[in-house]
C-alpha cells in the first residue's frame, strides 16, 4: 500500500489545530469556526473520525486498500495530531487537564437504542449538507448543530487516553469506533435514500 503522506500530514495538522485551539471537549460557535477554517486551510482533510467514517461507508466498500486502508491511516493521523496538541497544551503532562474517559456504552446498546438512531439520523442529515454545500462554513455549523447527537471529539479523546498513560483505553477505543461507525451508517443511508428519490423523480418524468 502506498501511503499518501500529504493527506496524512494534513490530518495531523488539522487535528492538532482543533485539539490545541479548542481542546478535546470543544463544542459551540468557536469550535465550528475553528473547524471551518481548518477544513479550508487543510484542504481535503477530514479532521474528525466521524467524517472519515462517512467517507469509508459511502465509498467503495469492496476496496480494502483504496478505501479502508487509506481512511484507516487518516484515523491514525488524526489521533497523532491530537496527541501532539495535548502534549504541547499540557506541557508534557505538567498541567492537569481534568480529562476523564467516557465509559464504554455499547454493552448497553439496548438501553441506548434512541441514541444510536439519533447518531444514524445525524449522519444522514450532515452528510447531505456536507456533500451538497461547497462551503466549509455550512458543514462546520451543521456539525455544531448536530453535536449533541453525535460524538465529534473522538480523535481528541483517543489522544487524551494515550497521553494519560492509556487511561480508559479499552472504553475509549470502542466508543471511538462505534460513534463513528453509526454516523457513517447514517451517511450511507442518506445516500441510498437520495438515490431512490432521484430514481423516483426520473421515473415520474418519463
Region of 138 (left: φ > 0; alpha: ψ -120 to 50; beta: rest) is alpha
The enclosing domain of 84 has a CATH number of 1.20.1080.10
Residue-level pLDDT at 24: 55
Residue-level pLDDT at 25: 57
Domain ranges, residue 79: 5-205
Question: Which pLDDT tens digit goes with each residue over 155-206?
Answer: 999 999 999 999 999 999 999 999 999 999 999 999 999 888 887 766 666 6
Question: Which pLDDT tens digit goes with each residue over 52-109?
Answer: 999 999 999 899 888 999 999 999 999 999 999 999 999 888 888 778 888 998 888 7
| Contact in structure between 151 and 126 (CB atoms under 8 Å) | no
For the chain, the domain total comes to 1
**pLDDT beyond 90 at 131:** yes
Amino acid at each position: 500500500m502506498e501511503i499518501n503522506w500529504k493527506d496524512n500530514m494534513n490530518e495531523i495538522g488539522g487535528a492538532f489545530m482543533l485539539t490545541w485551539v479548542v481542546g478535546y471537549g470543544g463544542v459551540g460557535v468557536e469550535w465550528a469556526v475553528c473547524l471551518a477554517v481548518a477544513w479550508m486551510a487543510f484542504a481535503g482533510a477530514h479532521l474528525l473520525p466521524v467524517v472519515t467514517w462517512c467517507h469509508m461507508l459511502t465509498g467503495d466498500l469492496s476496496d480494502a486498500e483504496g478505501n479502508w486502508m487509506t481512511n484507516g491511516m487518516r484515523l491514525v493521523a488524526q489521533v497523532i495530531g491530537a496527541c501532539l496538541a495535548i502534549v504541547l497544551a499540557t506541557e508534557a503532562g505538567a498541567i492537569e487537564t481534568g480529562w476523564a474517559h467516557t465509559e464504554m456504552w455499547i454493552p448497553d446498546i439496548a438501553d441506548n437504542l434512541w441514541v444510536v438512531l439519533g447518531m444514524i439520523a445525524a449522519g444522514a442529515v450532515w452528510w447531505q449538507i456536507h456533500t451538497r454545500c461547497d462551503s466549509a462554513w455550512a458543514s462546520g455549523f451543521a456539525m455544531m448543530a448536530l453535536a449533541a447527537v453525535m460524538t465529534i471529539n473522538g480523535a481528541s479523546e483517543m489522544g487524551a487516553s494515550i497521553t494519560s498513560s492509556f487511561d480508559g483505553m479499552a472504553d475509549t477505543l470502542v466508543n471511538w469506533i462505534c460513534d463513528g461507525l453509526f454516523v457513517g451508517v447514517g451517511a450511507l443511508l442518506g445516500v441510498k435514500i437520495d438515490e431512490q428519490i432521484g430514481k423516483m423523480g426520473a421515473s415520474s418524468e418519463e
